[in-house]
Structure 1
């Protein structure tokens, strides 16, 4: 009898061991597969079972959460959704997350281990902390000025603090309300279909995800390369440049919209945007030096994040001399985001050096305990300090005596560069209007804001669109807003 009891006990022990091994296999070895199984709703229920942390602009939350009472309990809400959509993105129970909602998702949904004093305990209990807060670098007044300035037109604005790299404004129009995508019902599905079918692409973040030919605003880069390389040494000396200029190796002639560009000085050519002068300067500088200068300003960098990714701006590294001439005036294959052109302006304003831009000042727990600061932001030299000083002088001339008069501000020094970029087959598209500029209050020791504006209004009459007429007034109001809040 004892023998059978021992056998039964051994069998039970074996079955218990098998049960433990199987439980370990399911809970440890296969846990990731079960977690990622689309049929497993537990992660989604836990994710939306508590309010998300908030995104904050100047001390006020521009996001929130509402209790729906459903299984996926809390939906994301937005204050001034269209105004901040290029920054916040959306957090949808069906369509995922974008922009800051995506880049800071673990902190906002409470799963970031840094939110807890005992992260290992949370891993064991599967508990979530309350969502943390993301404090942005935005200035509300500048954001509103950019949004209001663009109005119903398509385009984008990016504004930076030159000395630090803080993003002060990031606007894209047309925009949309991210809140319409938050839920999981029919309304969210209809909104998703409508927004994706809209030809104006309201969900496209034109400030950081759309590249444009920068047109004459790229002449800042060409001028920097010419001055750094010694091709030009005197701003007021005549530059050997015919008008019209025949592109090297071709019979194609390049002309100007203004008079006086033949053998003009760099100052005159910059203030009145002489295409022939800058096209020839680019050829004289050479492809290698032009490429190096563009790269120093941030072109051809696929790794820029603010913290969400930014589309790389491009300057072709393999061109013939005719193509280089066109690229040097911001045409051919040269492309730039508005954020990139704000970086170009910031480099001029900051003595030739440029800070990596950033949008998040700090992150905190729900109770306000710091989680992470903005960290160190790399500084790179885009040009010699002497070259930057001369470019600031040239950019002041554009506003005081040239094509950028509409950007002028009282009680402030303003520098800028206008641009009208051709595009489309045979340049048949409505030109994009550009303005880049910086501003410094009379009582400030350094420029306080650098801004880039692009207007791509397809409804505009071709002859009525220009950087000075369309984009400069928008930049002026953004700069005015920043200077008022800085004082």
Structure 2
């Protein structure tokens, strides 16, 4: 072989080896990354050419795929987009959120539990289909939650969560402002990119599910946790006499904290029940100061603080009760201020635990996973997370909360013929912005079917009119009625 031929042969061999190495690298090393790359057109075509499964509330599909009239076979559609967007999330060519993300393997048909279905489709030469996801949502309760938030004055921000106390089923979850997931499902990928940038830049944060992703001071609704810690200490019950009066001087400080109305809560010594009825700041500042940060933190964590618990819906933020607070901060934590923050979901869990004899149930939004033929592949079983309080403590707290609805600050939640337990909360923010309004409740008090937490982060309500009972009470009442009267 002469030299020119030998050089060409070696060069061709090197090219062949380079091609072989590159193919091996792409097929084995980079295969997963390339298949998941949202810019991979083959992945996009395959994704939009498969009938994705439905997301169901009752018998109604709130998200489903329908035949498309463009080059892709199917179009994702959402029948009640704004009402359910915080739960369903969106499905787009580059990403998914909410249930669309947490249950993507099922909905896309890639879940291992759908292997037999895929095999049958292959043998019968049928187009593959995704599985269906049945939610725990009560449609009437969700309607009430959404309508309540929509009725708030102005460009409001807020959230609602309703739980079934004995199981942890999420019966309603609404957040405002929200968004239209249909725009993310568009096959006009440039428009999808534009709407994503627009919503991500929106200062109102419409893409955040405030029910699980926003943490704010819980204000006086946290007095449930403070009262629980006090009763669990063995030194108090609903009839115990506790400090009242006009003001409380913070330990190691010259600062003085007064009651929200400037009054004395009915006297220098009042019962725990009366303190809850009138939401006496002095009482709960005193209790938190006496109990100390460790006892308060232990109790908060038993209810779910400093952790997350909702496993089938992403974007959950931790509700926080810091263990490193000094005495003044610890006292302030007793009224849900200082460094204490909570999501509406967390405060709904507190109310639900009291309603459930002290047992904290893991919240869940996915009830069943079904094959395309509607056979059940999996069903969520209720799971207890912790025993937050004893059944005796739960009974004492329930008596106090019923009294608060009957003749205290929570009267807007009254339901004729039904015993309701509830608590208001108004949490101070910065001097530049109005307070946050909270409301938690459960009903019927003697056989709880639903526990609710309402947060009104902002609305066009004058500062002196902002109160948990006034803004959140009617929303909670409507949701409880929807569940009880179903």
TM over 0.5: yes
Residue 103 of structure 2 corresponds to: 104
What do residues 305-362 of structure 1 show as CA deviations (whole Å, max 9, x unaligned)?
2443421100111111110011110001110000100000001111111111110110
Residue 215 of structure 2 corresponds to: 211
Counterpart contact for 2:168–2:382, Cα < 8 Å: no
Structure 2 vs 1, CA of residues 21 and 93 (structure 1 numbering), >3 Å: closer, same or farther?
A: closer
Structure 2 vs 1, CA of residues 218 and 25 (structure 1 numbering), >3 Å: closer, same or farther?
A: closer
Question: Shift in Å at residue 30 of structure 1?
Answer: 5.5
Residue 244 of structure 1 corresponds to: 247
Q: Does 1:350 align with 2:356?
A: yes
Structure 2 vs 1, CA of residues 106 and 284 (structure 1 numbering), >3 Å: closer, same or farther?
A: same
Counterpart contact for 1:434–1:467, Cα < 8 Å: yes
Structure 2 vs 1, CA of residues 72 and 363 (structure 1 numbering), >3 Å: closer, same or farther?
A: same
2: CA distance between counterparts of 1:183 and 1:254?
Answer: 54
Structure 2 vs 1, CA of residues 392 and 35 (structure 1 numbering), >3 Å: closer, same or farther?
A: same
What do residues 373-413 of structure 1 show as CA deviations (whole Å, max 9, x unaligned)?
11342342011111100000000001001011110001211
Residue 169 of structure 1 corresponds to: 172
2: CA distance between counterparts of 1:302 and 1:330?
Answer: 19
Q: Does 1:160 align with 2:163?
A: yes
Q: Does 1:116 align with 2:122?
A: no
Structure 2 vs 1, CA of residues 279 and 289 (structure 1 numbering), >3 Å: closer, same or farther?
A: same
Residue 7 of structure 2 corresponds to: none
What do residues 62-97 of structure 1 show as CA deviations (whole Å, max 9, x unaligned)?
112233344443221101100101110000124x11
Match of 2:485, SS? helix
Residue 4 of structure 2 corresponds to: none
Over aligned residues, Cα RMSD in angstroms? 2.7
Counterpart contact for 2:244–2:280, Cα < 8 Å: no
Counterpart contact for 1:440–1:446, Cα < 8 Å: yes
What do residues 274-298 of structure 1 show as CA deviations (whole Å, max 9, x unaligned)?
1111011001111111110000000
2: CA distance between counterparts of 1:128 and 1:286?
Answer: 63
Q: Paired residue for 1:434, among 438, 446, 452?
A: 438
Structure 2 vs 1, CA of residues 144 and 304 (structure 1 numbering), >3 Å: closer, same or farther?
A: closer
Counterpart contact for 1:231–1:285, Cα < 8 Å: no
Question: Shift in Å at residue 177 of structure 1?
Answer: 1.3
Q: TM-score, normalised to structure 2's length? A: 0.89
1: CA distance between counterparts of 2:159 and 2:182?
Answer: 21
Q: Structure 2 unaligned runs (5+)?
A: 1-15
Question: Shift in Å at residue 37 of structure 1?
Answer: 5.8
Residue 415 of structure 2 corresponds to: 409
Question: Shift in Å at residue 243 of structure 1?
Answer: 2.8
Counterpart contact for 2:243–2:282, Cα < 8 Å: no
Question: Shift in Å at residue 197 of structure 1?
Answer: 3.0
> Where do residues 256-271 of structure 1 align in structure 2 (5 Å cutoff)?
256-258=259-261, 259-261=263-265, 262-271=268-277
Counterpart contact for 2:91–2:185, Cα < 8 Å: yes
2: CA distance between counterparts of 1:23 and 1:430?
Answer: 61
Residue 325 of structure 2 corresponds to: 319
Q: Number of aligned pairs?
A: 462
What do residues 168-219 of structure 1 show as CA deviations (whole Å, max 9, x unaligned)?
0000011221101112424333332332233322221111100111000000
